Amino acid sequence: MDFGRAEFAGQGAAFGTFGEIKVLVATVVNSVGAVIDRQGRVVRGNYHAELGERRHPSADYAELTGAPAVMGNTTLTVMITNVKLTDVELLQVGRQVHSSMHRGIQPFHTLTDGDTMFAMTTDEVELSGVKPTGLGTLASEVAWDAILSAAE
């Protein structure tokens, strides 16, 4: 991907409630690649002016027409939940959510970017019926909504 095909995104946020569980994800998407919606369409970035279309970065890499990744492909994110979690559980939920963000941003976690996420909890409610992995799954969907919000 190169800066010539990049399109500005911005900051986005999404909030989800699942019973007593609350999750807020805010992100600043500064990706040189592309933002992908849930149907697999590129909604921002990797715009080929000569073709008048946005393309999934994998198509360019498969055709060897994409430039190497460039510096500056950084997405900053914060996830806050009200669920009481141990430090280990919070770390794992954070990893799960951050790893899931590749679905909405391609490429993600490249060699030269600084994708970072901070995970926090207010420790207000106990998990009941939903294990930390389930919380991570729900929060991952909220993160995707935040990414899409940044591309609007």
pLDDT tens-digit profile of 2-20? Answer: 567 777 788 999 999 999 9
Rounded distance between C-alpha atoms, residue 136 and residue 145, angstroms: 14
Residue of 65, 74, 110, 137 marked active site:
74
Q: What is the pLDDT of residues 86-123, one digit of tens each?
A: 999 999 999 999 999 999 998 888 877 789 999 999 99
- pLDDT tens string 72-82: 678 999 999 99
Strand, helix or coil at 107? coil
Q: How many other C-beta atoms are found inside a 10 Å radius of the C-beta of residue 4?
A: 10
Is 17 an annotated catalytic residue?
A: no
The secondary structure element, H or E, covering residue 146 is helix 132-150
